[in-house]
Structure 1
């Protein structure tokens, strides 16, 4: 009898421990330009694993090694990246019940595209750290290899909306020229699509994005990389000039609710956060990251 009671107790204890270990929602990270899946963002993975023992944290890698992954942040078609990432996520058994996404810089808009195009398994919270959701108009301090950065600039100067450049240069795919809005909408193969600026609009993009529990958009208030920095909040230059930035809630994207931002906002699931500092300059172990990101969105 005592043996049976002891055996039952052991089984119960094992079940409790297993439940505790698996309680936290898995996390999928996507790196930015000039980084790799297990490069500088690995500090976030280590921090979360230390804070939540047993949590599953993975980072999307394009290619077979770090070098290929690094090059993909400049020279791999974003639509292909999204397609490949969706397949990786779907094939991962740890993610079958859903996951939280953390996108770093351009990884923010890539993960958003994944949420819009690949609803299964479901992304629960999407945290975009300095993403360029309305694109960029300028590349003043390109991060990474100087040689590659110079090549990026040359290609953008050659013609961001030339088909070959659009198909092969990541930064051209979210290049947004406010002086040529019609050209941008017609020729942009990635950003104008996921922002539903083309006709006919893709209703599934709105349906899928509004399935998120929260869309967390972080703007770095002293950002010198993203131009304009307000792009992190879906804000951009008024058409025809590159000085005055419109408010998100005044834009057709929001007012006509092309991708569901208005719906998310009205249900208090759109979070616009500001972080003091330059692009991605936050302390992983700091109070801001703990209070504004980890506890509200990653602790369950």
Structure 2
């Protein structure tokens, strides 16, 4: 019996490392790891398009779907990153590396994983509508979370940079007010840290440079993310929301605080666009634009 078990384990391990690499998913605000209409359909699509089907780990923050959804609003992002890092380290199927796909806020959360948690190694990082320079404006609410979203709006109005809000409200932790940049850089507990805007952490740059490709998907008709250029590291100019500073003109790029300039010069940043609203894409678009990054 022990021999049979050992053979099964070995065959499973061999399949994992000989087939396509595993895939890790992280959902967006108001969603969960296992919603059959969102990430569930993405999982099935990946399984249909890649043979043999890769191992897929959809990150769940909490003990059930309800907790996972709520934590996307109210669990300190740094605590979520630590939690997810432990999940990934404990998953033996990921030991030899994995491709990562983050949807909406899951995009910048997985970037934080790449920067802070390089073991197991991330291969390609695919950010589908991730807000890498944050947001300035709270979006319409996805799904059935209108009551929660209205509550979040009230908290943001109360004081997005108040300590208690920063420590407990996810969307406040990647809120960047272009009219209060000094305050944002001083108190932002998440975004200002992973974007190296307060203190420089060498490992953040070293670790991000380890990934093969950074794939950034921007939705040109986005009504959820303000500004939508944040999905490709663009953002409003200081004190001027009528002007966008694109990635290559930003201090993050010019000073190469994350290694993005190096990656760009090596053609390792892939800029993709969809002329649609937030996370609105067809199966064929995903097959044509995302699946190729999951096969090797």
Q: What TM-score results when the alignment is normalised by the length of structure 2? A: 0.92
Q: Which residue pairs with 2:209 in the alignment?
A: 210
Mapping of 1:1-300 within 5 angstroms?
22-39=18-35, 40-52=38-50, 53-144=52-143, 145-199=145-199, 201-283=200-282, 285-286=283-284, 288-295=285-292, 297-300=293-296
What whole-Å deviation, never above 9, does each CA across 1:255-280 have from its counterpart, x for those lacking one? Answer: 00011110110111011111121000
Q: Cα distance, 1:208 vs. partner? A: 0.4
Q: Determine helix, strand or coil for the equivalent of 2:278.
A: coil
CA distance in 2, matches of 1:20, 1:91: 15
> Contact 1:22 / 1:55 at 8 angstroms: preserved in 2?
no
Q: Determine helix, strand or coil for the equivalent of 2:218.
A: strand
Q: Cα distance, 1:160 vs. partner? A: 0.6
Q: Cα distance, 1:96 vs. partner? A: 0.3
Q: Which residue pairs with 1:4 in the alignment?
A: none
Q: Cα distance, 1:54 vs. partner? A: 3.4
CA distance in 2, matches of 1:232, 1:159: 25
CA distance in 1, matches of 2:202, 2:272: 27
Q: Cα distance, 1:19 vs. partner? A: 5.3
CA distance in 1, matches of 2:259, 2:81: 20
Q: Cα distance, 1:58 vs. partner? A: 1.1
CA distance in 1, matches of 2:97, 2:16: 17
What whole-Å deviation, never above 9, does each CA across 1:71-118 have from its counterpart, x for those lacking one? Answer: 011000000000000000000000000000000000000000000000
CA distance in 2, matches of 1:194, 1:209: 11
CA distance in 2, matches of 1:131, 1:19: 31
Q: What's the C-alpha RMSD, in Å, of the aligned pairs? A: 1.6
Q: Determine helix, strand or coil for the equivalent of 1:237.
A: strand
Q: Determine helix, strand or coil for the equivalent of 2:236.
A: coil
> Contact 1:22 / 1:54 at 8 angstroms: preserved in 2?
no
Q: Determine helix, strand or coil for the equivalent of 1:128.
A: strand
Gaps of 5+ in 2: 1-9
Q: Determine helix, strand or coil for the equivalent of 1:71.
A: helix
Q: Which residue pairs with 1:9 in the alignment?
A: none
> Contact 1:130 / 1:279 at 8 angstroms: preserved in 2?
yes
CA distance in 2, matches of 1:20, 1:58: 13
> Contact 1:219 / 1:232 at 8 angstroms: preserved in 2?
yes
CA distance in 1, matches of 2:108, 2:272: 16
> Contact 1:45 / 1:58 at 8 angstroms: preserved in 2?
no
Aligned residues: 282
CA distance in 2, matches of 1:127, 1:68: 25
Structure 1 residues 69 and 164, CA gap change in structure 2 (3 angstroms): same
CA distance in 1, matches of 2:244, 2:236: 4
Structure 1 residues 247 and 77, CA gap change in structure 2 (3 angstroms): same
What whole-Å deviation, never above 9, does each CA across 1:158-179 have from its counterpart, x for those lacking one? Answer: 1111000000000000000000
Q: Cα distance, 1:139 vs. partner? A: 1.2
CA distance in 2, matches of 1:259, 1:211: 11
